[in-house]
């Protein structure tokens, strides 16, 4: 039997079968395309259904979308009623929920119709009566040179400092507000002060409001405390947003303890104004609680003056290293610079040269150390603990700066604090409706501070006689430092004149000859060179000068050497002498630094 007889019928006709299947499928496809497909698409449009060919579907949909968008833009906006969330808060003002709100949310006046059974309404007068007054202020006044954005100019400034008994306020308010289910979170909205000037007859003038001096921000914008909007019963959200803003610890520090400019110190440094801040109960309590660092932190210069090129005088600043031995690096560098000049010298001569140079280097190092030691130490600023710690202590430091003083006048100050009314917008917690509308409450004024006299810019003191003329020492200020010079005057002559002196500018650090005005605007009228002075230990007569002051009043002054040691004139003379000595010592140390 041959092999061809063994092939099955399927194998024999497989190709034909595959071709037949393909033909059938192709036929079905052609039938569906030509016979079954309508070749049109039905679209559900806004204006009704439309049947279009497939090629026009995209364009039609694009036109429809554009038409719908135009109609949406032209259609008027529908106002939707906003839920009365504050009314819902009113329902939550219960002993449990009210305490949890922490005063951030409040109840609008218009939505209050009844008082809850657990709320005992109070009067605002009760809260005002519970406010304690600040302690008696301390005033530090005098002429100083603050570093401002516009430059450095001398001003007569008073730093007014007091302590507010925060524990007394918090304790009394907490008890009263707990009955009304209102959180007790005192928020200070301002510090107010009044000043009085002593008149010639000793009486005090009427109180005048004091505007504290606060530096502008980095952009030159003035410091402004946000004002509380008037509560109208429906703007509770806006009112509470201001309360939350002012309640921030940063704002509270800016209000209670505002920043101030860096101040020029005659010892050649820009210092923080807190170097003038006296020790208080707050600062002493902090020092008692926190251990002082082992090494005191030295005062650095203010950022802007520090950036000024000091021309190699940085070693003159506080904290500069003192002499601790021979500077071997400097000695070796000097030796290597001149080593080639000594190649022809023998070994013994070379050793002698090295010894001589070592001795000279050591002498120069000691000299620089001695001159650096003459530089006066800068006063250290008084550390002020953070405000939260002060509140926990129960005593808060409060201060302001008054730069509107006039030299030669005597001032006194009193202060009070302005608080946000804790009942503001809490109309269901007050007896009288207006108590929930009043934005602020004020503490009582403190006692008046002790009188403080602002020294005159130019002061003179009789120091003796010379050739029938009166010898006077005149003090004045220039470039933020006290300067002094001696003058002799005869009857009819003005006391003081303009003199040239070499001083260092505090901003650019240059030392130049400048004209210093020592004019006191006073005129000598006469002199008594044999004024009896029973209090003198030497038994010699004193010198008394009769003169007209700058206001045209006739006055007399006695030789300072014959004044009692405790007299105001003698004390002031010693203070000015010390300030001049400090400035000269700093200038000598600066000039001695290479």
pLDDT tens for 239-256 read: 999 999 999 999 999 999
Q: Please, is 181 exposed, middle or buried when counting C-beta atoms within 10 Å of its C-beta (0-12, 13-18, 19+)? A: buried
| Both tokens assigned to 211 | 């505007």
Whole-angstrom CA distances from 152 to 109, 304, 431, 579 are: 52, 11, 55, 19
Contact present, 368 and 360 (Cβ < 8 Å): no
| Both tokens assigned to 78 | 């529908």
Predicted confidence at residue 159, as pLDDT, reads 96
In whole angstroms, give the CA distance from residue 304 to residue 571: 36
Which range, of 210-219, 366-375, 398-407, 579-588, averages the lowest pLDDT? Answer: 366-375
| Residue with the two structure tokens 């001149």 | 338
pLDDT band for 424, please (50, 70, 90 cuts).
Answer: very high
Residue 310 or residue 364, greater confidence: 364
Cα 45 to chain center, whole Å?
A: 67
Predicted confidence at residue 218, as pLDDT, reads 76
Q: Residues 476, 479, 483, CA angle at the centre, nearest 5°?
A: 30
pLDDT band for 200, please (50, 70, 90 cuts).
Answer: confident
Contact present, 166 and 419 (Cβ < 8 Å): no
Predicted confidence at residue 318, as pLDDT, reads 32
pLDDT band for 186, please (50, 70, 90 cuts).
Answer: very high
pLDDT band for 366, please (50, 70, 90 cuts).
Answer: low
- In the chain, what percentage of residues exceed pLDDT 70? 71
Averaged over 473-501, what is the pLDDT?
90
Averaged over 502-513, what is the pLDDT?
76
Predicted confidence at residue 184, as pLDDT, reads 85
In the three-class reduction of DSSP (H, G, I as helix; E, B as strand; rest coil), residue 70 is classed as helix
Virtual torsion, Cα 384, 388, 392, 398, nearest 10 deg = 50
Predicted confidence at residue 375, as pLDDT, reads 53
Please report which helix (H) or strand (E) contains residue 522, including its range.
strand 522-531
Selection from 90, 111, 95, 259 nearest residue 183 by Cα: 95
In whole angstroms, give the CA distance from residue 396 to residue 276: 18
Predicted confidence at residue 258, as pLDDT, reads 93
pLDDT band for 317, please (50, 70, 90 cuts).
Answer: very low
Helix axes 568-592, 347-374, angle to 10 degrees: 150
Residue 99 or residue 341, greater confidence: 341
Pairing of strands 151-152, 138-144: unpaired
Contact present, 402 and 160 (Cβ < 8 Å): yes
Query: Does the pLDDT value for residue 46 go beyond 70?
Result: no
Query: Does the pLDDT value for residue 310 go beyond 90?
Result: no
Using only C-alpha atoms, what is the Rg of the chain? 43
In the three-class reduction of DSSP (H, G, I as helix; E, B as strand; rest coil), residue 462 is classed as strand
Looking at 46-137, which runs of residues are DSSP E strands?
48-52
Cα 352 to chain center, whole Å?
A: 61
In whole angstroms, give the CA distance from residue 122 to residue 306: 56
Averaged over 259-276, what is the pLDDT?
83
Q: Determine how many CB atoms are found less than 10 A away from the CB of residue 230.
A: 9
Averaged over 248-265, what is the pLDDT?
91
| Both tokens assigned to 522 | 């006073």
| Both tokens assigned to 323 | 């002499």
Predicted confidence at residue 209, as pLDDT, reads 95
In whole angstroms, give the CA distance from residue 104 to residue 90: 13
Which range, of 145-154, 283-292, 305-314, 370-379, averages the lowest pLDDT? Answer: 305-314
Which range, of 10-19, 269-278, 437-446, 584-593, averages the lowest pLDDT? Answer: 584-593
Predicted confidence at residue 505, as pLDDT, reads 74
Pairing of strands 522-531, 542-548: antiparallel
Contact present, 405 and 156 (Cβ < 8 Å): yes
Q: Determine how many CB atoms are found less than 10 A away from the CB of residue 361.
A: 19
Highest mean pLDDT among 28-32, 196-200, 371-375: 196-200
Query: Does the pLDDT value for residue 452 go beyond 90?
Result: yes
In whole angstroms, give the CA distance from residue 16 to residue 10: 10
In whole angstroms, give the CA distance from residue 120 to residue 505: 66
Query: Does the pLDDT value for residue 594 go beyond 70?
Result: no
pLDDT band for 300, please (50, 70, 90 cuts).
Answer: very low
Whole-angstrom CA distances from 499 to 474, 519, 587 are: 11, 10, 18
In whole angstroms, give the CA distance from residue 99 to residue 323: 64
Per-residue pLDDT reduced to its tens digit, 52-74 = 777 777 777 877 887 887 777 77
Predicted confidence at residue 117, as pLDDT, reads 57
Predicted confidence at residue 210, as pLDDT, reads 94
Predicted confidence at residue 302, as pLDDT, reads 42
Query: Does the pLDDT value for residue 216 go beyond 70?
Result: yes
Q: What share of the chain is helix, strand, coil (3-state, %, to 5)?
A: 35, 25, 40
Helix axes 328-337, 347-374, angle to 10 degrees: 130
Highest mean pLDDT among 318-322, 357-361, 478-482: 478-482
In whole angstroms, give the CA distance from residue 356 to residue 351: 9
Predicted confidence at residue 147, as pLDDT, reads 82
Averaged over 421-436, what is the pLDDT?
90
For the chain, the average pLDDT equals 77
Q: Please, is 365 exposed, middle or buried when counting C-beta atoms within 10 Å of its C-beta (0-12, 13-18, 19+)? A: middle
Averaged over 422-427, what is the pLDDT?
90
Averaged over 304-312, what is the pLDDT?
33
In whole angstroms, give the CA distance from residue 565 to residue 569: 9
Cα 572 to chain center, whole Å?
A: 32
Pairing of strands 440-442, 147-148: unpaired
Averaged over 495-517, what is the pLDDT?
83
Give the largest Cα separation in the chain, rounded: 172
In whole angstroms, give the CA distance from residue 587 to residue 503: 8
In whole angstroms, give the CA distance from residue 539 to residue 517: 36
Query: Does the pLDDT value for residue 520 go beyond 70?
Result: yes
Q: Which residues does residue 160 pair with via DSSP β-bridges, in sequence order?
A: 139, 400
Predicted confidence at residue 307, as pLDDT, reads 33
Residue 231 or residue 5, greater confidence: 231
In whole angstroms, give the CA distance from residue 288 to residue 272: 23
| Both tokens assigned to 271 | 């210092």
Predicted confidence at residue 257, as pLDDT, reads 94
pLDDT band for 154, please (50, 70, 90 cuts).
Answer: confident
Predicted confidence at residue 149, as pLDDT, reads 65
pLDDT band for 99, please (50, 70, 90 cuts).
Answer: very low
Averaged over 268-280, what is the pLDDT?
87
Averaged over 414-440, what is the pLDDT?
92
Query: Does the pLDDT value for residue 208 go beyond 90?
Result: yes
In whole angstroms, give the CA distance from residue 417 to residue 255: 10
| Residue with the two structure tokens 């010894």 | 355
Predicted confidence at residue 129, as pLDDT, reads 93
Predicted confidence at residue 312, as pLDDT, reads 27
Predicted confidence at residue 34, as pLDDT, reads 61
pLDDT band for 534, please (50, 70, 90 cuts).
Answer: low
């Amino acid at each position: 039997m041959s092999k061809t007889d063994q092939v099955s019928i399927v194998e024999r006709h497989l190709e034909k079968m595959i071709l037949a299947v393909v033909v059938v499928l192709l036929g079905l496809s052609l039938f569906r395309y030509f016979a079954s497909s309508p070749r049109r698409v039905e679209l559900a449009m806004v204006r009704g259904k439309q049947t279009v060919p497939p090629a026009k579907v995209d364009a039609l949909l694009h036109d429809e979308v554009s038409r719908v968008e135009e109609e949406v833009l032209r259609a008027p906006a529908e106002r939707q009623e906003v839920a009365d969330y504050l009314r819902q808060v009113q329902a939550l003002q219960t002993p449990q929920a009210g305490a949890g709100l922490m005063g951030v949310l409040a109840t609008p006046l218009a939505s209050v119709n009844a008082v809850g059974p657990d709320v005992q309404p109070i009067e605002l007068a009760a809260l005002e009566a519970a406010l304690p007054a600040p302690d008696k202020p301390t005033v530090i006044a005098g002429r100083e040179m603050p570093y401002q954005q516009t430059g450095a100019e001398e001003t007569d400034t008073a730093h007014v400092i007091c302590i507010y008994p925060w524990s007394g306020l918090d304790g009394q308010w907490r008890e009263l507000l707990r009955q009304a289910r209102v959180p007790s979170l005192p928020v200070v909205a301002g510090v107010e002060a009044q000043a009085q000037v002593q008149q010639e007859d000793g009486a005090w003038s009427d109180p005048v409001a004091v505007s504290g001096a606060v530096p502008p921000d980095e952009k030159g914008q003035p410091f402004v405390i946000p004002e509380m909007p008037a509560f109208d019963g429906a703007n509770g959200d806006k009112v509470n947003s201001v309360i939350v803003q002012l309640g921030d610890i940063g704002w509270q520090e800016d209000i209670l303890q505002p920043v101030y400019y860096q101040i020029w110190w005659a010892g050649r440094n820009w210092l923080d104004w807190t170097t003038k801040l006296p020790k208080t109960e707050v600062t002493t309590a902090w020092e008692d609680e926190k251990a002082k660092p082992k090494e005191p932190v030295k005062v650095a210069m203010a950022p802007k003056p520090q950036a000024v090129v000091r021309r190699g005088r940085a070693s003159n600043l506080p904290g500069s290293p003192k002499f601790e031995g021979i500077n071997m690096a400097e000695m070796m560098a000097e030796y290597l610079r001149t080593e080639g000049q000594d190649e022809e010298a023998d070994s013994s001569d070379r050793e002698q040269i090295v010894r001589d140079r070592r001795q000279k280097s050591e002498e120069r190092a000691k000299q620089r150390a001695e001159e650096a030691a003459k530089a006066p130490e800068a006063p250290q600023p008084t550390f002020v603990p953070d405000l939260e710690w002060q509140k926990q202590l129960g005593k808060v430091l409060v201060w302001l700066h008054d730069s509107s003083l006039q030299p030669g006048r005597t001032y006194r100050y009193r202060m009070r604090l302005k608080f946000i009314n804790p009942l503001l917008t809490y109309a269901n917690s007050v007896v009288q409706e207006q108590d929930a509308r009043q934005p602020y409450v004020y503490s009582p004024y403190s006692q008046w501070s002790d009188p403080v006299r602002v020294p005159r810019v130019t002061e003179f003191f009789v120091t003796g006689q010379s050739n029938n003329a009166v010898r006077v020492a005149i003090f004045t200020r220039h470039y933020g430092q006290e300067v002094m010079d001696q003058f002799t005057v005869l009857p009819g002559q003005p006391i003081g004149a303009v003199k040239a002196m070499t001083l260092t500018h505090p901003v650019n650090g240059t030392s130049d000859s400048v004209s210093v005005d020592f004019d006191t605007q006073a005129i000598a009228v006469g002199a008594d060179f044999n004024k009896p002075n029973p209090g003198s230990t030497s038994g010699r007569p004193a010198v008394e000068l009769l003169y007209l002051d700058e206001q045209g009043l006739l006055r007399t002054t006695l030789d300072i050497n014959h004044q009692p040691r405790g007299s105001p004139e003698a004390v002031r003379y010693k203070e000015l002498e010390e300030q001049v000595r400090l400035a000269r010592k700093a200038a000598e140390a600066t000039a001695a630094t290479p």
